[in-house]
Amino acid sequence: MVDKVGAVLVIGAGVGGLRAALDLAESGFKAYLVDSNPGIGGTVPQLDKWFPDNGCELCKLLPVFSRDGCSQFCLRRDMAHPNIELLPNSQIQEVTGEAGNFEVTINSVSRWVKTERCTGCRLCAEVCPVEVPDEYNDGLQLRKAIYVRSPQAIPNFYCIDRETCTKCGKCIEVCPTNAIDLNLPDESQKVAVGAIIVSSGFQEFDAAEMGQYGFNRYANVLNNLQVERLLASGGRTTGELLRPSDEKVPKKVGFLQCVGSRDTERNYCSTACCMYTLKEAILIKEKYPDTEVIIFYMDMRAFGKGYHRYYQQAQELGVKFVHSRVSVIRENPKTKNLLLLTRAEDGTDIRSEYDLVVLAAAQCPSARATELNQALGVDVNQWGFIQSQDWWQTRTSKEGIYVCGSAAAPADIADSVIQAGAAACEAATLLASARDQLVEAEAESVASAASDEDTKVAVIICQCGEEITAAVNTAQVAEFAQTLPDVTSVEEVRFLCLPETLEEVKKSITKSGANRVIFAACAPYHYHRLLGNTMREAGIDPSLWQLVNIREQLAWVHKDDQAQATEKAKKILAATVDRIRGQEPLRITPMTVEQKALVIGAGVSGMVAALSLAEQGFETYLVEKSAETGGHAGEAYYNLGNEDPQAFINDLRKKVKNSSQIHLYPETGVVEVNGRSGNFSSILKAADDTTTEIIHGAIIVATGAEDYVPTEYQYGQNDKIITQKELQQLLVKNGLGKPTTVVMIQCVGSRDEGHPYCNRTCCSDAIVNALNIKEQSPETEVYVLNRDIITYAFREEYYSKARETGVLFIRFNQEDPPEVNATDKAITIRVNDPVLPGKLEIDADLLVLSTGIVTGDNRALAETLSIELNEDGFFREVDTKFRPVDTAIDGIFICGRANAPRNLDEEIAQAQAAAQRAVNILSRKELQSGRIVSEVNARRCSYCGICVTTCPFNARWLDEDEHVAVVDEALCQACGACVAACPNSAAKLRGYRDKQILSVIEAVL
Amino acid sequence: MAKSATLAVKDGKIRSSINALLADLLSKQVVEAVLVPLAHPAGNNVVQSLVTNPDYLEQADVFAPVMPVNAGRIIQAMTRLTPANKKTAVVMRPCELRALVELVKLRQAQLDNLYLIGIDCPGAYSVSDYPKYAAEKTSDDFVKAAWNGKDDPMLRAGCQVCEYPVPLMTDLTIGSVGQDLKKQLLLLASTEKGEELLEGLGLTAEEDSQAAAQRHTAVDQLLNKIKETREKFFEQTREEIGGADKLATVFGPCIKCQNCRVACPVCYCRECFFVSPTFELEAEKYLGAAEKRGAMRMPTDTLLFHLTRMTHMAASCIGCGACEEACPNAIPLLKIFQLTGTNVQKLFDYIPGRSLEDELPPTAFKEDELEWIGEK
């Protein structure tokens, strides 16, 4: 038995790595987050807007622990969690040991800049003579050899690019804090970890390899990422789509899909490109309605939650779709326009001219992947992606090493984040016995005495060398600060952030006896932590000090007008003094956690979630409405791949039955749920009407979905018209015999008006069934009538295999579906063949319908839990990308088909991710409220209840005896909706009193 | 269609016929109390009174053209903490009923045990104008003249442009529109409670009566006519008060007495923010602000007060005009609130006081509303 180490190494700080590290950090493990780049975020910070809502809500990924300040945090920039140690510029050199106890050698390349001294003032970059293509803008503009990766990167420590630095030394001369040292050595360290999560991501296929498209040769042929950067407001063109050759807005843009994927060399689907192409097409159409946008595609794979609607949105905006693969692009040397040569579906040649062409380049394993995977000793597939195990997407060939995101298979952000949660769950399960072994106890809040003392405000003004003084006369500001009420000391410092200065500041504050502190300095994101530590040591309550940004938001924007900048600095300072004078110390309320879970639904996702919780040591109530566990998977006999669903499910059933931590309640429903995250009380009702009350801290909804029963194509009127599921049962139980012709029709009850979403699973079902028919009876003709074949990632191979075996795929349009004419003797199907003129008529022995997944009636449960359903009746997650298993109600999570149609392995990963989110709560004995929460002034409360209905977090309720509204501080997220809704300020937000706000307004006016 | 019965107008006297009906409610023990306006003995006002002895109902005068207090307020005072413990009939004007519905939604009043009796309302005069009228004419004269279609420039501004002179939500309506007032009134039950009243009174109710149909047609005509009047009124108001400058001018005479707030039946806060400690400032603050500006108008924040009240009341403003009546300096508050209120209500597709089922706009979350905001 190995001594398990309560730490996990996460390789790659992209969106998946961030999620995994945060999940582990929150549930009592130390996480080393390693990235070869100087900063975190991976590809994500380069993307400005995200499908399917064109928004950016990356901050939703943030842990709730720093909620009071979370409005200041953005994951494009920075991440702070005391249990995460960030190791940028680092590579894995060697891994030894075994699951539970690995030793990893990590090499960190020196950035030649001392981070503790760098103030991010950018003087070094101004003098650096070296200019190189900027990776952040995908080479569309230049950066210096000393640089920060993106303008908004925080911490904004500079870093020297060794490859291009000429060591001229100019930067050393200008650096005001002596932060640059070209001899700063590289470091190598050994860390002990119990598990490893690989989230090393992907590398974009180099489109120049496909010479026929002229990438890198023709100025106006770009890849998707370059277009993202052009459309980004922070990019070179500040969001204008200007084509490189002449800086003009293109009138006609062509997108080419599947560049470097779905071909003989890389016969897999890159999964995410259809969606980001749609996004870019939509953004272009919204911004430039007159620009023509045409997408050349093979199959439009918009299969995720909400994606099909996004596809429809693109169509409504006038984006055109041509089903064709472009064979060659030629540039007109004069106009730099691009001539696209291709063949239409009907065989005619298309030649058309475009101003701009965008290539959807495939996701490939990163250049360093081979080396890394060898060091880890994990198996890879034929293309170099890490091989994951049957059913378990995140398990590699090596125990204790898990994988998520594109390191294992091309994936979009949504799926990567789910897998990251699943990988964290695997690691946490393996290391459950070592939980809390290495994490620091949360910092004690300072016992604050400030309430009955006289208010004494200390003001510290940073000059930041010349950075602030160039625009703001800090001496004048300091003099002015002396005159403000309750200000007892004012101090100017040259560089606040240097370690020695912080030490001095701490001493002088202690000496002055101040009980409130204001810093007038720079961007708070990184320094907030440094200052927080200093203030804690100086005995200042966390709610009684504040930082005002007078550098980026003041000195840098008013460089040319010193008088006004100084005036503004005074006003902002006066406002802050007024605010902090009225500030009381804010307390944190601890609340006990019932360390048990309720899982609703004992299908595959429910069972996996329950087992994940049980194996981490948490008692779980597993409630199932039917008598049998297993859900829809109970009727599955085979799958795309070689797995045996029945054996898998029986194994799960056995484990559930044998687990002493799981209490299974068959034929039982949940009829009432009260309480809040960490402490719910629920009533279970069995078939015989007996009720049981249970107390638990978290809830996972895994109630599954139902099969669509078709009304189309004469289903139910003829026993030779069946569904894929019925076909599978026939194939397994009786065999089909030797039918001459089998026809399958796709998208029955999905991607239609009543069900505007892709079912995700039925193309795979159709292909596996078609392959099995061909195996049983090679002479049987099998036709698959489809609108798009959705075989994403490595499912593509089976699609190819089916075509090689002779399965015929015929595409039809939604407006022109196949006609079915069935009699007792024969079934005739007429369909428009895009290749041949006129209709194709097929006589079939068997017609198989690929039916959709629809929701059961979830309304009652949604109401019991106060969680939302989406327009299709599936349970709604807070954010499809970044919080895919969280509901708006803290402590309630969703997974499996209750949330959206998914394949079995995807459901399993989602169940693990949901379980891990629940563990984040259950692994703590206490939950803490934020310091800033809303409260009720009982005297003023009119009991009208507007705040209760307005609260999106169910954090308020009405006390019928006292006739007042009451706040549950654990649930309150301090959004302030109640404050805005309450007409007479009976609803208040601590730290934002009316008087404070009014005096701040008065001070700046 | 609702069930209805007729109430014979005895000897052509409307007031005494209605009073007899109300007295019947008590003496036949259909209800145990009646809230109704009684004529003040001095003859210069009517006062909402809670009556348990039927003898007092001789003094009731439901059509007396004066509304000193919106009765929604009175029900609020009675039932905010606990609902009525006895069956109580309340006779109210449409704007009073609508105020009550808003208050119920805001949990400031409870309808249990209440029987809402609404009247078709011909309007009212200002409290100060009423004695002159009362000295010469009766409420019977008033109601007959009103439904004859003549414009009465003496009516309160709110009544002249009232959008809903007929009740929107009630148990029983005493219908006078479209009736031959020499002979009869219509008693229209729109809920089970209303039917219970008719039954208790021993009246036979019928479905789809001719009298009900007549009222229906007459009400439609009435509403159409009002629509035109209102459009003109809004047009004129926009000219009078549109824009920040004019708004400041209109509120110039305000002395921040807050009478408008006290009179408003829907302004429901227990303690107004504007009388709270937040606005109790030290001399230092006043003097500091004055120093900054050079001059500081006292009392402060008059415009802020009205704008805040408007923000809170716009969606629920039922246009009763109580605010304007209460203003000592004749600020045209009704105009301002009706113009804003109607537009806000249109925006949220909300009719205040129509039904308990309509969600208050601040509490109704719709994902796809107000999408034009932020468009250029």
Tokens 């003032």 -> residue: A121
Residue A681 phi/psi, 5° resolution? -125, 130
Residues 6+ apart with CB under 8 A from A850: A723, A724, A744, A745, A746, A747, A748, A759, A762, A763, A765, A766
Contacts of B106 in chain A (CB under 8 A): 942, 944-946
Alpha-carbon distance of B326 to B258, in angstroms, equals 9
CB contact A940 to B (< 8 Å): yes
Q: What is the token pair recorded at B66? A: 């004066």
Closest approach of chain A CAs to the CA of B106, in angstroms? 4
For residue B68, is the peptide bond before it cis, meaning its omega torsion is within 30 degrees of 0? no
Buried b / exposed e along A688-726 (16+ C-beta atoms within 10 A): eeeeeebebbbbbbbbbbeebebebbbbeeeebbbbbbe
What pLDDT does A954 receive?
85
CB contact B15 to A (< 8 Å): no
Contacts of A1002 in chain B (CB under 8 A): 285, 288-289
Q: What angle do CA B150, B154, B158 make, to 5 degrees?
A: 95
For residue B131, is the peptide bond before it cis, meaning its omega torsion is within 30 degrees of 0? no
Mutate to test the interface with A, among B73, B81, B101, B107 (most CBs of A within 10 A): B107
Please say if the pLDDT value at position B1 is more than 60: no
Alpha-carbon distance of A875 to A895, in angstroms, equals 9
Is residue A234 included in any domain, yes or no? Answer: yes
Angle (deg, nearest 10), helices A724-733 and A762-776? 30
Is residue A612 included in any domain, yes or no? Answer: yes
Q: What is the token pair recorded at A465? A: 């060398």
Closest chain B residue by Cα to residue A986? B273
Range of the domain at A296: 204-364
Please check whether residues A392 and A419 belong to one and the same domain. Answer: yes
DSSP state of A875: B
Q: Are strands B3-8 and B184-189 parallel, antiparallel or unpaired?
A: antiparallel
Please say if the pLDDT value at position B218 is more than 70: yes
What pLDDT does A73 receive?
60
What pLDDT does A63 receive?
62
Answer whether A707's CB lies under 8 Å from A853's CB. yes
- Closest by CA to A422, choosing from A374, A386, A381, A388, is A388
What pLDDT does A78 receive?
60
Please check whether residues A469 and A546 belong to one and the same domain. Answer: yes
Please say if the pLDDT value at position A151 is more than 80: no
Closest approach of chain B CAs to the CA of A737, in angstroms? 54
Alpha-carbon distance of A832 to A821, in angstroms, equals 15
The arithmetic mean of pLDDT across residues A701-715, rounded, is: 95
CB atoms near residue A809 (< 10 Å): 19
Please say if the pLDDT value at position A92 is more than 90: yes
Please check whether residues A826 and A968 belong to one and the same domain. Answer: no
Residue A134 phi/psi, 5° resolution? -90, 115
Is residue A895 included in any domain, yes or no? Answer: yes
Could you report how far apart the first and last alpha carbons of chain A are, in Å? 69
CB atoms near residue A265 (< 10 Å): 8
What pLDDT does A43 receive?
84
Helix (H, G, I), strand (E, B) or coil at A14: coil
What pLDDT does A972 receive?
86
| CATH (domain of A356) | 3.50.50.60
Please say if the pLDDT value at position A769 is more than 80: yes
**How many structural domains is chain A composed of?**
7
What are the pLDDT digits (tens) for A601-646? 999 999 999 999 999 999 999 999 999 999 888 888 888 876 789 9
What pLDDT does A713 receive?
94
Buried b / exposed e along A647-669 (16+ C-beta atoms within 10 A): ebbeebbebbeebebbbbbeebb
Pick from A949, A985, A1005: CB nearest B278: A985
Alpha-carbon distance of B187 to B198, in angstroms, equals 8
Average model confidence (pLDDT) across chain B: 93
pTM assigned to the model: 0.82
**Residues B52, B54, B59, B65: is their CA dihedral positive or negative?**
positive
CB atoms near residue A189 (< 10 Å): 12
Asked if the Cβ–Cβ distance from A946 to B81 is below 8 Å, we say: no
Contacts of A995 in chain B (CB under 8 A): 278
Mutate to test the interface with A, among B103, B278, B317, B356 (most CBs of A within 10 A): B278
Q: What is the token pair recorded at B68? A: 């000193």
Q: What angle do CA A294, A299, A303 make, to 5 degrees?
A: 105
Asked if the Cβ–Cβ distance from A941 to B270 is below 8 Å, we say: yes
Please check whether residues A460 and A547 belong to one and the same domain. Answer: yes
Asked if the Cβ–Cβ distance from B270 to A1005 is below 8 Å, we say: no
Q: What is the token pair recorded at A213? A: 């498209």
Please say if the pLDDT value at position B57 is more than 60: yes
What pLDDT does A446 receive?
47
| CATH (domain of A173) | 3.30.70
CA distance to A621, A812, A822, A825, per residue, from A713 (Å): 43, 15, 9, 16
Is residue A247 included in any domain, yes or no? Answer: yes
Contacts of B276 in chain A (CB under 8 A): 940, 984-985
Answer whether B338's CB lies under 8 Å from B317's CB. yes
Answer whether A495's CB lies under 8 Å from A119's CB. yes
Answer whether A479's CB lies under 8 Å from A459's CB. no
DSSP state of A555: I
The arithmetic mean of pLDDT across residues A814-835, rounded, is: 91
Contacts of A984 in chain B (CB under 8 A): 269-273, 276
What are the pLDDT digits (tens) for A910-947? 999 999 999 999 999 888 777 889 999 999 999 999 99
CB atoms near residue A212 (< 10 Å): 11
What pLDDT does A24 receive?
96
Contacts of A950 in chain B (CB under 8 A): 362-363
Q: Are strands B46-51 and B33-39 parallel, antiparallel or unpaired?
A: antiparallel
- Closest by CA to A518, choosing from A480, A558, A489, is A489
Average model confidence (pLDDT) across chain A: 91
A527 confidence band (pLDDT: 50, 70, 90):
confident
The arithmetic mean of pLDDT across residues A532-541, rounded, is: 89
Range 13-72 of A in CB contact (< 8 A) with B: none
Please say if the pLDDT value at position A76 is more than 80: no
Please check whether residues A193 and A66 belong to one and the same domain. Answer: yes
Asked if the Cβ–Cβ distance from B107 to A945 is below 8 Å, we say: yes
Helix (H, G, I), strand (E, B) or coil at B363: helix
Q: Looking at per-residue confidence, does B138 or B151 come out higher? A: B138
Residues 6+ apart with CB under 8 A from A897: A603, A605, A632, A704, A705, A853, A907
Closest approach of chain A CAs to the CA of B339, in angstroms? 21
Tokens 């703001």 -> residue: A472
Please check whether residues A247 and A339 belong to one and the same domain. Answer: yes
Please check whether residues A208 and A351 belong to one and the same domain. Answer: yes
| CATH (domain of A552) | 3.40.50.960
Burial class (CB in 10 A: 0-12, 13-18, 19+), A559: exposed
Distance of CA A191 to the CA centre of its chain: 28
Q: What is the token pair recorded at B24? A: 């019947």
Question: Where do the domains of chain B lie?
Answer: 3-231, 241-363
Helix H or strand E encompassing A123: helix A123-127
Asked if the Cβ–Cβ distance from B270 to A950 is below 8 Å, we say: no
Please say if the pLDDT value at position A850 is more than 70: yes
Q: Are strands A457-462 and A516-521 parallel, antiparallel or unpaired?
A: parallel
Please say if the pLDDT value at position B297 is more than 80: yes
DSSP state of A966: E
Asked if the Cβ–Cβ distance from A985 to B273 is below 8 Å, we say: yes
A1 confidence band (pLDDT: 50, 70, 90):
low
* Residues counted in chain B: 376
Q: Looking at per-residue confidence, does A154 or B11 come out higher? A: B11
Residues 6+ apart with CB under 8 A from B280: none
For residue A834, is the peptide bond before it cis, meaning its omega torsion is within 30 degrees of 0? no
Helix H or strand E encompassing A781: strand A781-786
Please say if the pLDDT value at position A136 is more than 60: yes
Please say if the pLDDT value at position A714 is more than 90: yes
CB contact A483 to B (< 8 Å): no
Please say if the pLDDT value at position A75 is more than 70: no
Q: What percentage of residues in chain A have a pLDDT greater than 90?
A: 76
What are the pLDDT digits (tens) for A772-799? 999 999 999 999 999 999 999 999 999 9
- Cα-atom radius of gyration of chain A, to the nearest Å? 31
- Closest by CA to B19, choosing from B185, B243, B157, is B185
* Residues counted in chain A: 1005
Asked if the Cβ–Cβ distance from B106 to A942 is below 8 Å, we say: yes
Please check whether residues A833 and A912 belong to one and the same domain. Answer: no
